[in-house]
A and B are shown apart, each in its own frame.
Chain A
């Protein structure tokens, strides 16, 4: 079975600074995707960024980028130039092409990020 672990329950950052959220995962699958979702106070789940495991280049979406270390099974999210609107709970998630993870997202526990003015 796949597991996703986020070891930081809460993080805080000052506006305009950079913050990194950690995520580790465990799987025996070779073909999979990793995702970061944000959940602002509105509770809506919003896809921030995703990474295909076979791609070595780290994914980037504007101020959001990842550091994907496949051998270490690590998938951290870096938020640059943090904005007040980035305040949210962030979930790391995993989905594979096969095995017991087929057809579903496996989520980590979440990290609450607060951006302070």
Chain B
């Protein structure tokens, strides 16, 4: 089954404790992206990657890191999480760059930083 997977689905952590949210897709997609969803703000792009070793900042990159060492994986790294990073996170992938390639979303990761 073609899909985007994220792990973990739920995570509660404390301020300053480094964490990684994994994202993997099995569709051989070149383009991957991370969004965060907050009430009243919709989804906002954090980082995106057009291919292996090619990443760039989205609208809200502060406090986040990403890497793209393999085509299928695009982990999101929070080196020192803070409470304002409590959010719902989505990974997405597409076969090519938007807008004419449909973006497929993962199931989401609910992160709480205490």
Q: Give me the interface of A with B, judged by CB distance under 8 Å.
A: 4, 6, 9, 32-33, 42-45, 47, 50, 52, 91, 93, 95-97, 102-105, 107-110
Contacts and interface: CB of A to CB of B under 8 A. Distances in A.
Given A103-B50, A104-B48, A109-B40, A44 B98 contact: no
B100 interface: yes
Contacts of A110: 42
A93 B56 CA distance: 20
A91 B43 contact: yes
Contacts, number: 59
Q: 8 smallest A-B Cβ distances: which pairs?
A: A95-B99, A107-B42, A45-B105, A33-B99, A95-B98, A104-B45, A107-B43, A43-B108
B41 interface: yes
Contacts of B35: 105, 107
Contacts of B102: 47, 50
Given A43-B107, A44-B107, A45-B90, A103 B40 contact: no
Secondary structure of the A contact surface, majority rule: loop
B98 A105 contact: yes
Interface residues of B, number: 26
Contacts of A103: 31, 33, 48, 50, 56, 97-98
B88 interface: yes
Given A42-B107, A44-B107, A110-B42, 12 more contacts: A33-B98, A47-B102, A50-B102, A95-B98, A95-B99, A103-B31, A103-B50, A103-B97, A104-B33, A104-B59, A105-B103, A107-B35
A44 B105 contact: yes
